[in-house]
Amino acid sequence: SRLRQFLYSWEKSAFRGTISEKDNSINEKSETKDKAAHKLAGDAVEIRLEHVGFTYPGSTKPTIKDINVTLRQGERIALVGLNGAGKSTLVNLIPRLYDVTEGSVTIDGHDIRNITMNELRDELGFVPQKGVLFSGTIASNLRYGREDATDEEIREAAEIAQASDFIEEKSAKYDSPIAQGGSNVSGGQKQRLSIARAIAKNPIFDDSFSALDLKTDAALRKALAEKVSDSTVIIVAQRISTVLHAEQILVMDEGRIVGRGTHEELLANCEVYRQIAKSQM
């Protein structure tokens, strides 16, 4: 079962260069390792980053330094920090767009370098996306990963991602225009739309749709909401407004984690967070 997904969403492009290039190079490199690969027993419940460091090829100094984070199933975690703090680099280490150069990333105790790439990406529900939103409509954006998603599936995905309220408020609803890069929706809305797109794309949700009566209302929504609450979501954000309600916010600065906590806690005791918050008021 892949019901317990780890979904990622990006407020901005998490990638430099083309994804397919990076994907392919990693897939090639990891082929030999995949032969001896470990098979995960079931749904992953914990991702752990221990003393993780990363230096880009050709670079002389590390972009990421001594990161220690445990992501447990169902947690919503937000990463904030100024541009260049290393947020995207950190997130990209989990689906192995790059491999750590120090420390390790483990899923339920297994080093991700010993898990097949397919299994890893399955477990992560990883949705590579270069730009977050494209010019078109809300519906076309939600169908980006899977063109044959039905209207019903699109609506359900939006609902689960908590995007349906602001979509319904728009006069053209799902046919509302989206400007290139999503410049006509807020950061938070963009994020919810990209989560909805990840959900709509995911075949696991197809399975659950066909197993249940599509017309079922509250019960279905509740079931889906529970499934999604099993998901670990990492939100990469530059704007404090996006992360206000996250259970745990990690603050990155110059490749390190310099604060952890809720918005209120960080305002009280993390200078970097306070500065970012102040600059956005």
CB of 51: closest distance to ligand ADP in angstroms?
Answer: 18
Q: Which of 52, 55, 51, 57 is nearest to 22 (CA)?
A: 57
Shortest distance (Å) from residue 59 CB to ligand ADP: 5
CB atoms within 10 A of CB 70: 12
Closest approach, Cβ 68 to ligand ADP, in A, equals: 18
In which residue are the tokens 């609506």 written? Answer: 155
Q: How far apart are CA 195 and CA 158, in angstroms?
A: 8
Q: Please give the Cα distance from 220 to 156 (Å, whole number).
A: 9
> Closer CB to ligand ADP, residue 84 or residue 177?
84
Which of these ranges, 1-9, 86-94, 104-112, 221-229, lies near ligand ADP under the rule CB under 6 A?
86-94
- For position 183 contacting ligand ADP by CB under 6 A, the verdict is no
81 vs 103, beta carbon nearer ligand ADP = 81
Nearer to ligand ADP, 167 or 252 (CB): 252
Helix residue ranges per DSSP H, 41-150? 87-92, 117-124, 138-142
CB 77 within 8 A of CB 71: yes
211: its two tokens: 């197993």
Identified binder of ligand ADP from the candidate list 4, 81, 193, 196, rule CB under 6 A: 81
Number of neighbouring beta carbons within 10 Å of residue 267? 14
Q: How far is the CB of 25 from ligand ADP (least distance, A)?
A: 12
13 binds ligand ADP (CB under 6 A): no
Residue ranges binding ligand ADP (CB under 6 A): 16, 56, 59, 63, 81, 83-89
